[in-house]
Amino acid sequence: MPRMVICTHCGRELEVSDRAFSVNCRYCNQRVGVEDHVIQSYHSVTNIETGGSISVTPTGHVRAKLRVQNLEVAGQMYGDIVARGKVTVYPGARMVGDVRASRLEVKEGALLKGYYRIEPIPGTFEK
């Protein structure tokens, strides 16, 4: 099943196969990761960029700037986030950082610290 992802470099839509881990953007010719990540342990990096989704489980602890399609957080997330799709925050989650997303769902019992700007994000990512 092909699916649509957003190029993390130029923001245009690309069709990729379900099993692809990355594609070369046919507009800007850069490599675009499209994996979905499930993070279950401590993970500290500068940036995570993917046209796919990231899920932080209750045992996950992420310190990174994220640029993703969708994000689900049930553990700890420290860093600024841009999610073109939806951010979902589960009970017991801790989110510290500024968040920009098209949609936000927060369950009772989550802790949020940061500036939230929730509005439809046009196709192009801000650099």
Residue numbers at the binding site for Zn ion (CB under 5 A): 7, 9-10, 25, 27-28
- Give min distance, CB of 67 to Zn ion, in A: 13
The residue (of 19 and 127) whose beta carbon lies closer to Zn ion is 127
First to last CA, the chain: 30
- Give min distance, CB of 24 to Zn ion, in A: 9
The residue (of 10 and 112) whose beta carbon lies closer to Zn ion is 10
Q: Are 35 and 20 in contact (CB under 8 A)?
A: no
The residue (of 5 and 89) whose beta carbon lies closer to Zn ion is 5
The Cα–Cα gap between 78 and 66 comes to 10
- Give min distance, CB of 34 to Zn ion, in A: 12
Q: Which two tokens stand for residue 92?
A: 């017991």
The Cα–Cα gap between 44 and 77 comes to 10
